[in-house]
Chain A
């Protein structure tokens, strides 16, 4: 025997035989009261991440000729919107004709406004959805929102205490949320905003930015197509960054892809470590093909099968949206993984800068339809929304 604890032989084994009666007794002695229907931590999870939220447009404000700020309120007007981190985005979904469209927009309002039931997004007329928003939607139009998502947010453990925010055009929107968050005290960092616009009439939030007097926030506006007093002229170059960026800073970029390519080259000249350069992801645009073919796309959703056309120059998500399918759509840039789907057959291409799949997804054949272009007829199994 390896050990004998109890001086009375056999007593330990007897005690072992008692563990079942003992457990029965514990159960017997517990009241059969009803179990909780929910738990505080699960309620907080639901509050922060409710999934989809019915909402309506409460106000529309003109920022520039082709830019509007939409004030959104919950359809159930007594409710708050989920709290979020400044820099995050939401999605807006609506049925337009026979299509079901979902688009991601950075929140331009502050986290505390969310608690009062207000979200704002600022939209420039560009594609189908934004044109519909600006030209067709009115105060009272109902939309479905997707919960706040994304990581384009300051983290004090990772980032420098100052953000150099580099905004191009409508890329200013998340930075407005951050500025508001600094002012209301929900975020604690400094910001040097370097804002590129074509001309003075293209400056979004012009008045708000001019009226800023807080010493934690500095605004430099760079006009590319116009020279004017009080504005920098040209592009956001290394020299300009050197002139305005403090020694220790995290560079946050939000704007068109062309701006990213240009500014990142300029940042290289300043030898900024990669961890101090972060960018918001843009939605995948169309592939430029002269004569895009149309392929047959077979989509399985639960026990339904849909056969729809898919244009070679558009993503699989765009094909599903056009067909009115309720496919899960969020970031539309390949990053969030919300549309994670099983590839059954066919060939496809993912633009390198939108490739964020997990290693095992490649091994077992999973794709993100929002950033995958068809190269042949295809068959996929997609979760429902």
Chain B
């Protein structure tokens, strides 16, 4: 029977990174991917004369070759850095919120951001500068924590990172309140909340400020050839390192031996492949609920999985327009369109079809002018559904429901921005939760992993990462993992779970070698 040191289930961002890490550490590795492409959400598709980006709005943590961000450092270490061409984005976001009448663009760069804030709200500079110095302290504290390998010196933490400790339990709302922010400063600073998909009462302040600081200080990028370029860069690296990647290959079972340790996987066609280590790039709901023999799933794994909540189910409208952005009057790259900056109310409005008008919309040409033929525009608008409204849709109604939700997003964009795009639609494609469920298998079409609920945010997940490990030989990576959702997070998660797998292999090395 065929045998590998490790098998990676799913070639999403996490799985790809995990495979590269395992292979570059000299282990043999097979990646099994259910779909015919690598990348999971990190992909693209062609319609007519347009190639659409499937999911990525902006990639944070790349920086420049001279001043690399954490994601670039990882890509460098994994040997994929040189395979990707990055485009730097100029502005952070353009926020339009109906209730407050906001309509402004915020730039990248700490100074530029502070300057723009001051213009919107005299005296505002001081608030965001304070937030940025907290952001720096949080980053340094997190670096210190990872360098101390889980055994930090409490005195060092108290002396050097007092604010990190103080705000560690705060929600975003509590944090802004504690810093005495006026409403408009809160709203400007919280604008990215939709990237994490939980509202500010739930979201971890540490997590959010760390992300905001990373975005504003380091800027964001996109790969020149859509995220398919990222996925093929990793795919190519896997081949270079002698790894195998099998497409249209669904793993239906993770097999365990009498001791409960992973012993192999079974494919859909019944074929079994031996391994002692699996890195699963899929939802724990799928791993424990579908891939494993129920008898082999520890009780606590069930309790934890049951306790968690699915985050946003994705919905994206992709438009190829037969006019240039200039002709259409689309000025910005990245739009956040909200009804209100009250994130709790906004979050709840996303529970229903009729109330959900939130969108994060990207005009790709504003960042990458060559992404479509001259005189055309690529626009894509994403929203999340925070409840399972798509569960009640029947096959017969599906295309109608999708069409209606699409029309309302287009109308919202037109009304909010004062543009006319409808008559210029040359190509249209829509990804609903059904589409995401189809291609990536995530329960209910979830695209954001487990929601960052207050009790289940970044910090407790990181601190309990070994406690959350239940099955010997099985590690779970990706957007459901300890680092939560997002491109950089999922690559890092894959790398981290590969490192843990390597440790697992080391620990059991001797006895395993003997038993062979």
Q: Which residue on A lies nearest to B246, using beta carbons? A: A302
Q: Which residue on A lies nearest to B271, using beta carbons? A: A302
Q: Which residue on A lies nearest to B406, using beta carbons? A: A157
**Is B415 an interface residue, CB under 8 A from the partner?**
no
**Is B513 an interface residue, CB under 8 A from the partner?**
no
Which residues of A are found within 8 Å of B383, using beta-carbon distances?
Answer: none
Counting contact residues on chain A (CB < 8 A from B), the size range is: 35 or more
**Is B239 an interface residue, CB under 8 A from the partner?**
yes
**Residues 160-174 of B contacting A (Cβ, < 8 Å):** 162-163, 165-170, 174
Asked if B165 and A16 sit within 8 Å, CB to CB, the answer is yes
Which residues of A are found within 8 Å of B182, using beta-carbon distances?
Answer: none
Interface pick from B16-24, B112-120, B437-445, B498-506: B437-445
Known: A31-B303, A383-B246. A39 touches B36 (CB 8 A): no
Known: A360-B44, A364-B236. A13 touches B398 (CB 8 A): no
Q: Which residue on B lies nearest to A34, using beta carbons? A: B294
Asked if B229 and A41 sit within 8 Å, CB to CB, the answer is no
Interface pick from A42-50, A124-132, A230-238: A42-50
Q: How far, in Å, is A340 (CB) from chain B's closest CB?
A: 6
Asked if A16 and B303 sit within 8 Å, CB to CB, the answer is no
Known: A3-B178, A32-B306, A385-B248. A19 touches B169 (CB 8 A): yes
Does more than half of chain A's interface fall in helix, strand or loop, or is it mixed? Answer: loop
Which residues of A are found within 8 Å of B443, using beta-carbon distances?
Answer: 36, 39, 41-42
Asked if B289 and A30 sit within 8 Å, CB to CB, the answer is no
Counting contact residues on chain B (CB < 8 A from A), the size range is: 35 or more
Asked if B437 and A32 sit within 8 Å, CB to CB, the answer is no
Known: A20-B463, A364-B235. A157 touches B46 (CB 8 A): no
**Is B514 an interface residue, CB under 8 A from the partner?**
no
Assembled-state Cα–Cα distance A326/B179 (Å): 63
* 0/1 interface trace, chain B 420-458, chain A, CB 8 Å (1 if under): 001011111100011101100101110000000001110
Q: How far, in Å, is A273 (CB) from chain B's closest CB?
A: 7
Assembled-state Cα–Cα distance A12/B178 (Å): 11
* 0/1 interface trace, chain A 103-140, chain B, CB 8 Å (1 if under): 00000000110010000000000000000000000000
**Residues 286-339 of B contacting A (Cβ, < 8 Å):** 288-290, 294, 299-300, 302-307, 313, 322
Assembled-state Cα–Cα distance A77/B285 (Å): 33
Asked if B303 and A22 sit within 8 Å, CB to CB, the answer is no
Which residues of B are found within 8 Å of A168, using beta-carbon distances?
Answer: none
Assembled-state Cα–Cα distance A384/B267 (Å): 13
Does more than half of chain B's interface fall in helix, strand or loop, or is it mixed? Answer: helix
**Is A23 an interface residue, CB under 8 A from the partner?**
yes
Asked if A359 and B225 sit within 8 Å, CB to CB, the answer is yes
Asked if B177 and A5 sit within 8 Å, CB to CB, the answer is yes
**Residues 122-137 of B contacting A (Cβ, < 8 Å):** 130, 133-134, 137
**Is B86 an interface residue, CB under 8 A from the partner?**
no
Asked if B426 and A37 sit within 8 Å, CB to CB, the answer is no
Known: A27-B300, A41-B313, A157-B425. A35 touches B305 (CB 8 A): yes
Asked if A35 and B246 sit within 8 Å, CB to CB, the answer is no
Total contacts A-B at CB 8 Å: 240
**Is B29 an interface residue, CB under 8 A from the partner?**
no
Q: How far, in Å, is B269 (CB) from chain A's closest CB?
A: 9
Known: A157-B428, A337-B46, A340-B37. A3 touches B162 (CB 8 A): no
Picked from A13, A82, A115, A357, the residue with its CB within 8 Å of the CB of B46 is: A357
**Is A261 an interface residue, CB under 8 A from the partner?**
no
Asked if B229 and A274 sit within 8 Å, CB to CB, the answer is no
Assembled-state Cα–Cα distance A385/B249 (Å): 9
**Is A243 an interface residue, CB under 8 A from the partner?**
no
Assembled-state Cα–Cα distance A132/B441 (Å): 37
**Is B149 an interface residue, CB under 8 A from the partner?**
no
Asked if A16 and B51 sit within 8 Å, CB to CB, the answer is no
Which residues of A are found within 8 Å of B460, using beta-carbon distances?
Answer: 19-20, 22-23
Assembled-state Cα–Cα distance A41/B402 (Å): 13
- Chain B residues with a Cβ under 8 A of chain A: 2, 36-37, 44-47, 51, 83, 130, 133-134, 137, 158, 162-163, 165-170, 174, 177-180, 224-226, 228-229, 231-233, 235-236, 239, 244, 246-249, 285, 288-290, 294, 299-300, 302-307, 313, 322, 388, 390-396, 398-399, 403, 406-407, 410, 422, 424-429, 433-435, 437-438, 441, 443-445, 455-457, 459-460, 463-464, 467
Pairs A–B under 8 Å by Cβ, sample size 10: A1-B162, A2-B163, A13-B165, A19-B168, A27-B304, A41-B443, A158-B426, A359-B228, A364-B229, A383-B248
Query: Which 3 interchain pairs have the tightest Cβ spacing?
Result: A35-B289, A16-B168, A5-B178
